[in-house]
């Protein structure tokens, strides 16, 4: 069994924020995979279903971003899961819009959702890092992540979410490196003005 978490903030006013790209992915995955209806459990909105031979629990914590770990910890304890069975999709300031990286472990780089989850279980869970770019000034970060994606972002945003969903069986079977390669093959990052986006790392 795998627990797949998308990070974001609850409430309609946050639904299209850059910070909510993880929620967007969970919504797309539940639709595409034909999972069961959404319900409330573990301080989250969840979907349960099957992908191939694997049972999955999809979660959108409703605790607000900086307390996401409480919800994740509840589900992890209930199912007696190990950190390597936890997959977290989140926005990533340090990647240009449309870039994607997948890895196990690492720091939280100031991301409050990751900080909260790490405090509950340590760092050794899988991360799907979905690039949203950086506004260029640290003082603008809070406004940037809590602002909606622009209309010009929609093509790469939809392509990346679709690729992450479509390639997910590769992550479950073959790990992060092959998954990352397949996601970027399906949804190559757009060419952006380097003065208006994060470094292409």
Per domain, the residue ranges of the chain are: 2-196
Average pLDDT over residues 195-199: 43
- Given a cut of 50, whether residue 197 has pLDDT beyond it is no
pLDDT at 73 over 60: yes
For the chain, percent of residues with pLDDT exceeding 90: 81
- pLDDT tens track for 5-62: 999 999 999 999 999 999 999 999 999 888 989 999 999 999 999 988 899 999 999 9
Q: What's the chain's average pLDDT?
A: 91
pLDDT exceeds 70 at position 195: no
| Beta-carbon contacts of residue 106 (< 8 Å; ≥ 6 apart) | 123, 127
For the cut 80, the answer to whether the pLDDT of residue 96 exceeds it is yes
- Determine the pLDDT at residue 155: 94
Active-site residue identified among 19, 47, 90, 111: 19
Can 19 be counted among the known catalytic residues? yes
Residue 129's pLDDT is 96
Residue 192: what pLDDT? 62
pLDDT digits (tens, 9 = 90+) for 151-192: 999 999 999 999 999 999 999 999 999 999 999 999 998 876
pLDDT of residue 193: 55
Superfamily of segment(s) 2-196: Peptidyl-tRNA hydrolase (3.40.50.1470)
Q: What is the DSSP string of 101-158?
A: EEEE----TT-HHHHHHHHHH-S-SEEEEEE----SSGGGHHHHHTSBPPGGGHHHHH
Closest Cα to residue 37, out of 53, 54, 21, 49?
A: 49
Collect all residues with Cβ–Cβ distance below 8 Å to 31 and sequence separation of at least 6. none
% residues pLDDT > 70 (the chain): 95
Count CA atoms closer than 13 A to 31's CA, side-chain side.
8
Q: What is the mean pLDDT of residues 146-155?
A: 94
Q: In this model, does residue 199 exceed pLDDT 60?
A: no
**Across residues 95-119, what is the average pLDDT?**
90
């Amino acid at each position: 069994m795998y627990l797949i978490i998308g990070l974001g903030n609850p409430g309609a006013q946050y639904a299209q924020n850059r910070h909510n790209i993880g929620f967007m992915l969970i919504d797309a995955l539940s639709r595409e995979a034909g999972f069961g209806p959404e319900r409330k459990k573990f301080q989250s909105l969840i979907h349960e279903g099957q992908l191939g031979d694997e049972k999955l629990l999809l979660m959108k914590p409703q605790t607000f971003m900086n307390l996401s770990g409480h919800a994740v910890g509840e589900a992890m304890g209930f199912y007696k899961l190990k950190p390597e069975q936890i997959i977290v999709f989140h926005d990533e300031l340090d990647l240009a819009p449309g870039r994607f990286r997948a890895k196990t472990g690492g720091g939280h780089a100031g991301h409050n959702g990751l900080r909260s989850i790490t405090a509950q279980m340590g760092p050794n869970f899988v991360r799907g890092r979905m690039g949203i770019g950086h506004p260029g000034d640290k003082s603008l970060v809070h406004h940037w992540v809590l602002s909606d994606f622009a209309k010009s972002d929609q093509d790469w945003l939809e392509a990346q979410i679709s690729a992450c969903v479509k390639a997910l069986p590769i992550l479950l079977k073959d790990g992060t490196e092959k998954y990352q390669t397949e996601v970027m093959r399906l949804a190559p990052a757009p060419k952006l003005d380097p003065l208006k986006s994060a470094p292409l790392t």
